[in-house]
Every structure is written in C-alpha cells, then in structure tokens.
Homo-oligomer: A and B are copies of this chain.
Amino acid sequence: MPTHQIEIHYCKQCRWLLRAAWMAQELLTTFDEEITTLTLKPGTGGIFEVRVNSTLIWSRADEGRFPDIKELKQRVRDQVAPEKDLGHSERS
C-alpha cells in the first residue's frame, strides 16, 4: 500500500488555521486509503502551500488565491492515485 504524506503550511497571523484544517479533513476523508500523515504547519507572512511528499501542488503566492476544494483534490489525486475517479466532484 503506497504511503503519502501531505503538508498544509498556512499563515497563522492571517487566521487561516480553520480553512487549513477543513481542507485537511476533506483530504483525509477522500484519500483515507492513500494518506499516511497530514501535517498542519503554522507559518506567517501570508503563506498557504500544500505539498504531497514534498512536491508543491498549491502555492497561494503563485496562484494568487486559495484552491477550490475540487481542484485541490484533483491535484492530490494526480500525485497519490492517478487512476482514482473523484466521482461527482469531477463531473460538475
């Protein structure tokens, strides 16, 4: 069984803990067979980055916004289970 580690690095000054923890729960629910650990990492200065096994898959600085949960799940899926169909969230 593959092992995948996800990290959500968020800005605590910006009070982004709640959205980081929400996304964490969404990912741990959708990918509960694929994820071995999900790490929440408080940071500063407006940071919001998501990594899968150290690969950066979302950076607020680069994208200029937060991910929609559907696109975040697609990017995680592409790393941890490329063949996995995300069901309804893929077809809307």
Contact = CB atoms under 8 A, between A and B. Distances in A.
Interface of A: 7, 12, 17-18, 21, 24-25, 28-29, 32, 35-42
A61 B83 CA distance: 37
A32 to B, nearest CB: 5
Copy count, this protein chain: 2
- The 8 nearest A-B residue pairs measured at CB: A39-B39, A38-B40, A21-B25, A37-B41, A37-B39, A12-B32, A17-B28, A21-B21
Contacts of A35: 42
A40 to B, nearest CB: 5
B24 A40 contact: yes
Given A28-B40, A36-B41, 19 more contacts: A7-B37, A12-B28, A12-B32, A17-B25, A17-B29, A21-B24, A21-B25, A21-B28, A24-B24, A24-B40, A32-B42, A35-B42, A36-B42, A37-B39, A37-B40, A38-B40, A39-B39, A39-B40, A40-B40
